Structure 1
Amino acid sequence: MKKIIALLGIAVLSISCGKKEKTVSATANVSPEELLVIEGKALFESNRAACASCHKPNQKIIGPSIKEIVKVYEEQNGDMIAFLKKKAKPIVDPEQYSVMETNFAILKTMTDRELESLVAYMYSEK
């Protein structure tokens, strides 16, 4: 019985170590900017951030599309991170601000890196 438990332990360790190597090697050839975009996309689409429930890349659902948001921020030289930190007024579809405002509780829990990754992902979709 002890031998079976020991073999199972070794098997689990070798499997988990193998997965780590694959994860590391999958991101080893990615630039820091690309990694930020990858992290942002994962966060954008996650249940934690819930951005994708209202925003799609090319079409307005509840909120404006990602492309529309980026277009307006570029045209008006806006600071999207400042908006996400609630330090800047809405410049995209301000009449819908009350809908977005409920998400600031979620955004407040995010690190600067996470907010930067969201914005990097959104700009990558333009």
Structure 2
Amino acid sequence: MKLILKSFAVFTLAISLTNCGEKKETDAYGNPVQEKSEVAAEPTVDPLLAKGQELFEGKGTCTACHKADTKVIGPAIKDIAKIYKEKGASIASFINEESKAIVDPSQYETMKANFVITKAMTAEERKALEVYMMSFE
């Protein structure tokens, strides 16, 4: 009889231990529910960067003269960003005619036609253009 009681006690303990583990969720029909894995968050995009790209490619008409890696009429954006960073200068200030051309002064007269567009922009829009262009550095 003692042997049966000991066996029963060991059996009960074993069942208790196995049932105390991780509980699995089930749906209304008893089917196991898979745990939701965390979805990797999409990288956030700086709103000024996105706005700057929109302006650069749109109403700023910048793409008529500037490309990312290639000099067209004006210098490549990558070259502009590099020089402005090295000199600690502000593109936003330049496109508002508050500072002199530092990348290619010989193109200043050509660029003057666009100052009508850029000066009509808000300070935030000019800053957005600067953020976008500096992202190429």
Instruction: Give the helix-richer structure, 1 or 2.
Output: 1
- What one-letter code is carried by the residue in structure 2 that aligns with 1:42? E
For structure 1, list consecutive stretches of 5 or more residues without a partner in the other structure. 1-28
Counterpart pick for 2:90 among 79, 101, 107: 79
In the TM superposition, structure 1's runs of 4+ consecutive aligned residues that sit over 6 Å from their partners are none
State the match for 2:123 in structure 1.
Answer: 112
State the match for 1:45 in structure 2.
Answer: 57
* Matching of residue 101 in structure 1 with residue 115 in structure 2: no
Bigger radius of gyration, 1 or 2?
2
Length, aligned pairs only: 96
Shift in Å, 1:49: 0.8
For structure 2, list consecutive stretches of 5 or more residues without a partner in the other structure. 1-42
State the match for 2:76 in structure 1.
Answer: 65
- What one-letter code is carried by the residue in structure 2 that aligns with 1:101? K
State the match for 1:30 in structure 2.
Answer: 44
Q: Which residues of 2 match residues 8-23 of structure 1 at below 5 A?
A: none
Structure 1-normalised TM-score?
0.72
C-alpha separation between the residues in 1 aligned to 2:75 and 2:131?
17
C-alpha separation between the residues in 2 aligned to 1:88 and 1:94?
12
- What one-letter code is carried by the residue in structure 2 that aligns with 1:83? F
Indicate conservation of the 8 Å contact 2:90/2:130, yes or no.
no
Shift in Å, 1:30: 3.1
Structure 2-normalised TM-score?
0.66
Query: RMSD across aligned C-alpha pairs, in angstroms?
Result: 1.5
C-alpha separation between the residues in 2 aligned to 1:79 and 1:119?
7
